[in-house]
Amino acid sequence: GLETGDFDEALKAAVVEGSESFKCSAISGAVAGGVKSIYLMTGADKPVTKIPTPRQSELNVLKKYGGEEQVSYLNGKKVSAGTLGATRPDIVTQIGGHTEAIEGKNYNLEKNLSRLCEKLKKQVSDRVENLPAEVSQRIVLDISGRDYSPEVLENAAEKIHQALDGIYPDIPIDFFTA
């Protein structure tokens, strides 16, 4: 219509083009609305809990269990921070009437479990040698912001227990979310 100067032809072409654009917009809107409905049904629109930093995990565990941070021990005695050869559990607290040294960890249990086990073997072993005999140990795994299946958690606990069996059999392991 524009090339020939025919106004009626140009008007028809504009109406057809406009309806095509409207149809595409309507389809896009329907698809977007459907996706939004899926998000609402699955809960995907809910805010995702952020994975805390290792330090934040320690603070979260401290808040939950109470106690004192980074107490140093050497040969069964409390010593000043920085004492050569001393061990420092993340938290020392009273649980059920006795003292426990808690190691709070925040690892990806699907990708870094073997590294976690190696770290715990060293730390728990150091604590066995240097904590007072009456102090027991506990591991608290902060799983905040991670959507682990029960199988992943069971596997992690089993692997940690296996790794620590000769050092500290049946060490309590708690899973924690802030």
pLDDT in tens, 60-80: 999 999 999 999 999 999 999
> pLDDT exceeding 90 applies to what percent of the chain?
65
**Looking at the domain covering 54-176, what would its CATH class be?**
alpha beta
State the angle between helix axes of 150-164 and 113-130 in degrees (0 to 180), rounded to the nearest 10.
40
* Cα 98 to Cα 136: distance, rounded to the nearest angstrom: 8
Residues 172, 159 contacting (CB under 8 angstroms): no
Hey, which residues does 176 pair with through a beta bridge? Answer: 142
Does pLDDT of 140 surpass 70? yes
Q: What is the mean pLDDT of residues 130-145?
A: 95
Span 165-175, mean pLDDT? 95
The predicted-structure confidence for 11-62, as pLDDT tens digits, reads as follows: 566 555 555 554 444 444 443 443 333 333 334 444 456 899 999 999 999 9
Sequence ranges of the domains in the chain = 1-46, 54-176
